[in-house]
Chain A
Amino acid sequence: MQVRPRGCPVLRQLEGSAAVAETVGLCRPEVVCAYPISPQTHIVEGLSDLVREGRLGSCEYVTVESEFAALSVCIGASATGARTYTATASQGLLYMAEALYNASGLGLPIVMTVANRAIGAPINIWNDHSDAMSQRDCGWIQLYAEDNQEAADLHVQAFSLAERLSLPVMVCMDGFVLTHAYERVDLPTAEQVDAFLPPFEPRQVLDPADPVTIGAMVGPEAFAEVKYLAHAKQMQALDAIPEVAAEFELAFGRPSGGLVRGYRAEDAETIVIGLGSVLGTIEDTVDELREEGVKIGALAIKSFRPFPLEEVRAALVSAKRVVVLEKALAVGIGGIVSSNVRMALSGIDLHGYTVIAGLGGRPITRRSLRALFERAIEDRLEPLTFLDLDRERVEAELERMAGGGRSGPHAENILRESGIVGARSH
């Protein structure tokens, strides 16, 4: 971590993780607790450095034996009134699952970076959104960053949102694609962040001077009400997210965050929906097609939880078709984001296409997207498409299974067929 002069914003060429670590540091966390998992590691290493360099005052950096413990430490710290931060990805997020629901159920304003990564098996360290999507219903606000500037900015907004609503917030940034990418980032100053983010005033706190019981057992007589309150707070977040984003823009002079962001979508007949860093490639492809006179646009969903039904509906109401590009798969049905988008479309007559893309880090190229969009425009797309799927390999494996007997592990079979694993032959 470099030391930079206080007081003036500095444009720097920074790794995404470093930008996030610096920005989280500027938010003055009091307890940081994390367990290492790629591609989250550089973020928490950065914070560990900041703590050891004494740049975060009395902030405690706690190293733990699992992600389950990491979030549990955060729960204890947040309930004791400390501004609390953690980060994870993939398997780590799943290992936290029980504690994720607990943190939101208790209404603890913890902020967490999710460096989005695939979930095994087969084990895979590369980017997609399977991890965060799997926890879409755990009660955390989920914000998705499109680039490193936004990833950094969203953390400042996340603490503000979390503490206003007493809800935990996940900032999702694409693993490696953003976390390990060097981009120009305009880091705020400590003064700017201090002015934007007042000290944490907890709604509930473990304090011997005023003892409370946090986490009591609740039966049928009140459980639904407590859960409804969690929903009500997320509905409040639908107002708070754009408010915080507007305040942020005013204070820092650049737009970041919000619920959705349209791109050349006003008169578009075809709208492509996506989340996170893939928007860049989508927009480039939109530009290409626009130059050829195609009425196509894009819609970035920035807040997946709460899901901005009204904003999505407003963006799609005049379109003829929507293509939802998803970096996650709901096995057995297809799209996760699509299902949510459809909730926004009641009574609107348009063609809806789900495209599963970029799983396990497979590159989503402009060329593939262009071909995909062209088929969509002609309404020749299947309702569910797997972008760049190698059909031949899949068919071969299905055939092998149909043969009965001990057909072996899929991953090994497919890799062997591709000549990637050559140790054993059939």
Chain B
Amino acid sequence: MADSNGQRVRFYQVGSFAAGNRLLDPEQRTVQARMDRSNTLTSGHRACQGCGEALGARYALDAAMRATDGKLIAANATGCLEVFSTPFPESSWQLPWIHSLFGNAPAVASGVAAALRAKGREDVRVVGQGGDGGTVDIGFGCLSGMFERGDDVLYICYDNEAYMNTGVQRSGATPPAARTANTKPIGREHPGNAFGQGKDMPRIAIAHGIPYVATATVADLHDLEHKVEAAMELRGPRYIHVFVPCPLGWGADSADTIKLARLVVESGLFPVFEAAGGEVVGVSKIRRQVPVEEYLKPQRRYAHLFGDPPRADVIERLQAIADANIARYGLLEDASDIDHTRVGSTSDARERG
């Protein structure tokens, strides 16, 4: 981020990047700090304390609402977000919102977009959203179809790495070694979820050659807002994959949601990047690389790695994954030759480390 004199502004105050909003040019300040924020997912919903998904959805949709001047329709997959936001007869949604099924949110969003095109209402935009199960597993076909047709939909995946709504079962986005209800660490041969499985959905999205793909976390909500706004400046299929800790499912302290989302990035386990037209065009650098243990330890889903005896071998494999991500995306300050130009924006928030 550069100030008006071109001098680089660095936000070192707290680990969360949350401070510093007031240092920014008013136009660049967070949507949530504005009087006119739309409170798209308004208070009173029934998400758990510390829910990363609720936080991510609120920021993402408020940003999308701001970018579209409130002309937005959302199609939601079945899952926690749908359940906690719309228990009859209440709804937390302050935008036109439809929930159809678990596996069809991208297609429903396509249908909304098709109807808007047919009616000449292309000023109204469409967001599809769901959890990782609804996105990378049961909704995968519909999502891929929406991508390849070039439908004008922003799809946001809130990834908490398992089927939380049904009681924490493994999904195609569950990381290796994680304990879930059906990947319990039983015996030495089963240290949680298996290695070598799972889908890298952002890269699959990139492979579709769609105009915009980004990852984000709830540790850097300003970055998430920015990416949503960047996405809304473009037409066609766009995909944002947001890392959202789940205190209940991960066995983590509700107060640690932001911390875990920050540590997953700083360990290298979750690369934060942007891609346009099939190429990665920007990455969020790791300011201070942390060993994966620092991210794993506060979560009971990894407790079996730190028992007696500890599973140094498993931790080593996880560290290897983090190291590979760091190398692949050039996540360390000195290791990158990737062009840092932002997509759809002139600001340079990538340099916030």
The CA-CA distance from A75 to B76 in the complex, in Å, is: 13
B89 touches A222 (CB 8 A): yes
Interface locus among A98-106, A142-150, A396-404: A98-106
Does A303 reach chain B (CB closer than 8 Å)? no
Binary A-proximity of B64-87 (CB < 8 A = 1, otherwise 0): 000000111101100000110011
| B-facing residues in A202-216 (Cβ within 8 Å) | 205-208, 210-216
Q: Which of B88, B110, B115, B144 has the most chain A CB within a 10 Å cutoff? A: B115
A64-B107, A76-B100, A208-B124 in contact; A217/B82 too (CB < 8 A)? yes
Q: Please state if B111 and A75 are interface contacts (CB–CB under 8 Å).
A: yes
Neighbouring B residues of A111 by C-beta, 8 Å: none
Taking CB atoms and an 8 Å cut-off, the chain A residues in 44-101 that contact chain B are 58-60, 62-66, 68-69, 72-82, 84, 98-99
Instruction: With both chains docked as a complex, state the minimum distance between the C-beta of A86 and any C-beta of chain B, in angstroms.
Output: 10
Q: Tell whether A82 pairs with B114 under 8 Å between CB atoms, given A64-B107, A76-B109, A216-B88.
A: yes
Q: Measured between alpha carbons, how far is A98 from B107 in the docked complex, in Å? A: 14
- Inter-subunit contact B87/A216 (CB<8 Å): yes
**Residue B315 CB within 8 A of the other chain:** no
Asked whether, in the complex, the Cβ of B112 is within 8 Å of the Cβ of A74, the reply is no
The answer, yes or no, to whether B99 is at the interface (CB within 8 Å) is yes
Q: Which of B82, B87, B96, B98 is within 8 Å of A219, CB to CB?
A: B87
Residue among B82, B87, B108 making CB contact with A75, cutoff 8 Å: B108
Q: B97 to chain A: which residues have CB within 8 Å? A: 206, 211-214
Cα A7 to Cα B149 with chains together (Å): 37
Pairwise interchain contact B115-A208, C-beta atoms closer than 8 A: no
Interface size class of B (residues with CB under 8 A): 35 or more
A99 touches B111 (CB 8 A): no
- Find chain B residues with CB under 8 A from A206 CB: 73, 96-98, 112
B88-128, CB < 8 A from A: 88-89, 91, 93-101, 103-104, 107-120, 124
The answer to whether A30 has its CB under 8 Å from any CB of chain B is yes
B117 touches A58 (CB 8 A): yes
B310 within 8 A of A: no
B70 touches A208 (CB 8 A): yes
Q: How far is the CB of B262 from chain A (nearest CB, A)?
A: 32
Name the contact of A102 in the complex, choosing from B86, B89, B100 (C-beta under 8 A).
B100
Q: Which of B87, B103, B118 contacts A59 (CB 8 A)?
A: B118
CB of A221 closer than 8 Å to a CB of B: yes
Report how far A80 CA is from B73 CA in the complex, Å. Answer: 9
Asked if B141 CB lies within 8 Å of chain A CBs, one says yes
Specify which chain A residues have a CB less than 8 angstroms from the CB of B332 in the assembled complex.
none
Contacts of B303 in A (CB 8 A): none
Near B by CB (< 8 A), chain A positions 243-259 give: none
Which residue from B94, B103, B113, B114 sits with its C-beta under 8 Å from A211?
A: B94
Judged by a CB distance under 8 angstroms, whether A141 is at the interface is no
Q: Find out whether the CB atom of A99 lies under 8 angstroms from the CB atom of B104.
A: yes
Q: Does A33 contact B (CB under 8 A)?
A: yes
Report the separation of the CA atoms of residues A215 and B100 in the bound assembly, to the nearest whole angstrom.
6
Chain B CB within 8 A of A218 CB: yes
Q: How far is the CA of A74 from the CA of B107 in the complex (A)?
A: 9
A31 at the interface (CB under 8 A from B): yes
B37–chain A nearest beta-carbon distance, Å = 16
Given A31-B114, A69-B142, A76 and B96 contact (CB-CB distance below 8 Å): no
In the complex with contacts A31-B111, A208-B71, A208-B73, A68-B104 CB distance below 8 A:
yes
In the complex, how many angstroms separate the beta carbon of A79 from the nearest chain B beta carbon? 5
**Contact A80–B144 (Cβ < 8 Å):** no
Contact B73–A73 (Cβ < 8 Å):
no
Contacts of A77 in B (CB 8 A): 111-112, 114-115, 118
Asked whether A74 and B111 contact (CB < 8 A) given A65-B142, A69-B142, the answer is yes
Residues of B within 8 A of A63 (CB): 149
Name A98's closest neighbour in chain B (CB-CB): B101
A63, A68, A216: most-surrounded residue (chain B CB, <10 A) = A216
With CB as the reference atom, state the residue of chain B lying closest to A207. Answer: B96
Cβ contacts under 8 Å, A210 to chain B: 96
**How far, in whole Å, are A205 and B113 apart by their CA atoms in the complex?**
13
Question: A106: which B residues are within 8 A, CB to CB?
Answer: 100
Tell me the bound Cα distance from A79 to B98 in angstroms. 8
* Pairwise interchain contact B99-A215, C-beta atoms closer than 8 A: yes
B145 within 8 A of A: yes
- Rounded to whole angstroms, the CA-CA distance of A207 and B110 in the bound complex is 16
Which of B103, B108, B117 gathers most chain A CB within 10 Å? B108
B239 to chain A, nearest CB (A): 17
Complex Cα spacing A66 to B145, Å: 9
B-contact 0/1 string along A141-162, CB 8 Å cutoff: 0000000000000000000000
Q: CA–CA, A219 to B103, complex, Å? A: 21
Contacts of A75 in B (CB 8 A): 98, 100, 104, 108, 111
- With a cutoff of 8 Å between Cβ atoms, the chain A residues found around residue B117 in the complex are 58, 60
Shortest CB distance A100–B (Å): 11
Q: Chain B's nearest CB lies how many Å from the CB of A222?
A: 6
Find out whether the CB atom of B98 lies under 8 angstroms from the CB atom of A72: no
Give the nearest-CB partner of B97 in chain A.
Answer: A213
Residues of A within 8 A of B100 (CB): 72, 75-76, 99, 102, 106, 215
Expressed in whole angstroms, the Cα–Cα distance for A116 and B243 within the complex equals 46
Chain A neighbourhood of B114, CB < 8 A = 31, 33, 60, 62, 73, 76-77, 82
Bound form: Cα–Cα A73–B126 in Å: 13
Residues in A whose Cβ lies below 8 Å from that of B83: 217
CA distance A60 to B113 in the complex (A): 10
CB neighbors of B among A13-60 (8 A)? 30-31, 33, 58-60
Q: State whether B111 touches A76 (Cβ < 8 A).
A: yes
Task: Indicate whether A73 sits within 8 Å of B118 (C-beta atoms), given known contacts A68-B103, A106-B100.
Answer: no
Which residues of B sit under 8 angstroms from A207, Cβ to Cβ?
A: 96
Determine if B119 and A82 form an interchain contact, defined as CB atoms under 8 angstroms apart.
Answer: yes
Query: Is B75's CB under 8 angstroms from A76's CB?
Result: yes
Q: Bound complex: CA of A219 vs CA of B118, how far in Å? A: 36
- Nearest residue in A to B83 (C-beta to C-beta)? A217
**Contact call A30/B119, Cβ cutoff below 8 A:** yes
From residue B140, how far is it (CB to closest CB) to chain A in Å? 10
Which B residues are in CB contact (< 8 Å) with A217?
A: 82-83, 86-88, 99
Nearest residue (CB) in A for B95 is A211
> Are A76 and B99 in contact (CB-based, < 8 A)?
no
Tell me the smallest distance from the CB of B67 to a CB of chain A, in Å. Answer: 13
5 closest Cβ pairs, A-B complex:
A76-B111, A72-B107, A80-B115, A72-B104, A215-B99
Residue ranges of A at the interface with B (Cβ–Cβ < 8 Å): 30-31, 33, 58-60, 62-66, 68-69, 72-82, 84, 98-99, 102, 106, 205-208, 210-219, 221-222
Would you list 12 pairs from A and B whose C-beta atoms are within 8 A, ordered by A residue? A62-B149, A72-B111, A76-B75, A77-B118, A80-B73, A82-B119, A84-B111, A102-B101, A208-B124, A213-B97, A215-B86, A217-B99
Binding site for A on B (CB under 8 A): 70-73, 75-76, 82-83, 86-89, 91, 93-101, 103-104, 107-120, 124, 141-142, 144-145, 149
Q: A58-B117, A208-B72 are in contact. List 15 more A-B contacts (CB 8 A).
A: A30-B118, A58-B120, A65-B145, A69-B107, A69-B141, A72-B142, A73-B114, A75-B100, A77-B115, A77-B118, A102-B101, A211-B97, A214-B98, A214-B99, A216-B86
